[in-house]
Amino acid sequence: MLSGNGQAGCVGTVDELVAIMGAAGIQNSVLAVAVPTRAMYDTLSRKGRQGGSLREETVIAGISEHIKGRNEWACRTARTHHGLVPFIALDPIMGTQEMVAELKDKFENYGAGGIKLHPGLGHYFPDDPRLWPVYEAAASLELPVLSHGGLCAAPESYTRPRNYDKVLEAFPNLTLIVAHLGRIHFKETLALAANYPNVYFDTSSAVPGDANGEKLDHAETFLGPLQTNDEVVEVIRSIGAHRVLFGTDYPWFHPGRDLRRFSRLGFTKEESRAILGENARRILGL
């Protein structure tokens, strides 16, 4: 777990998250596994070149085992902490067969509730052909796919919302959640929403709040320009409240503080019920 770069003062432990959920009245949280596969590959490959002992297949096998270990931990942790829903990490570096096998294993034997992709961390595009069988399996199993959307530290725009067009067109029965409302690329977000009814979005790190429930201004150094309350409402209503899920990106941000800010945005009771619970219950089968 990470401590969130000091954005909200969170430590990043499961016990801390569960305590915050209890205090804020949050019933469920997605425990999403994210692995910095590209950084791992580069580091291990560099060590191999220096020491002359690590072959590429050894590096890839080691990263795959690390991903599977993290996935098992998330699933087992969710079993012992009521209210947590595990989303397992998959990455094309594993290879197509390995990804599909991991998905089926964690779904059938460990109770995985969804898939987490992070094209920015893996330096791949979401329409990478190696992922096609993964999307097919996810649609067949009715498992949602949550993928990073918008601004990312990667050197290329792997996670711009427009990169999901081919995926959504090829798999109309797939439930895809683009995270962060597509952070800063909101025109592309709205275009996706208009063209594909099977795409959803979450508000994680898009509506960060401070201790008073106001906009967490200093997070702009980490996230880029933040939207005002009115701008957030406009984007969400343009998408449709029935297709947006509340999220926070803990531990980078504090779920209770983000919820406090969200409650002040001026949504109707019907809109708030959808964003804060009904949409997630429907998608996750809760």
pLDDT per position as a tens digit, 241-280: 999 999 999 999 999 999 999 999 999 999 999 999 999 9
**Above 50 in pLDDT, residue 1?**
no
**Selected residue with higher pLDDT from 135 and 43:** 135
pTM, 2 dp: 0.93
Any idea what DSSP says for residue 54?
-
Give the C-alpha separation, 81 to 278, whole Å: 21
Which residues form the domain of 122?
A: 4-284
Q: What is the pLDDT of residue 219?
A: 79
What is the pLDDT averaged over residues 123-139?
A: 97
Q: What is the pLDDT of residues 139-195, one digit of tens each?
A: 999 999 999 988 777 666 898 999 999 999 999 999 999 999 988 888 999 999 999
The DSSP string of 230-252 is HHHHHHHHHH-GGGEE----TTS
61-117 pLDDT, tens digit per residue, is 999 999 999 999 999 999 999 899 999 999 999 999 999 999 999 999 999 999 999
Q: Is the pLDDT of residue 133 over 70?
A: yes
Statement: residue 203 has pLDDT above 90? yes
CA distance between the termini of the chain: 25
- What CATH number did the domain enclosing 11 receive? 3.20.20.140
Q: How many structural domains comprise the chain?
A: 1
pLDDT of 53 reads 61
Nearest in space to 112 (alpha carbons), one of 30, 40, 17:
30
pLDDT at residue 52, as a whole number: 57
Answer whether 98's CB lies under 8 Å from 88's CB.
Answer: no
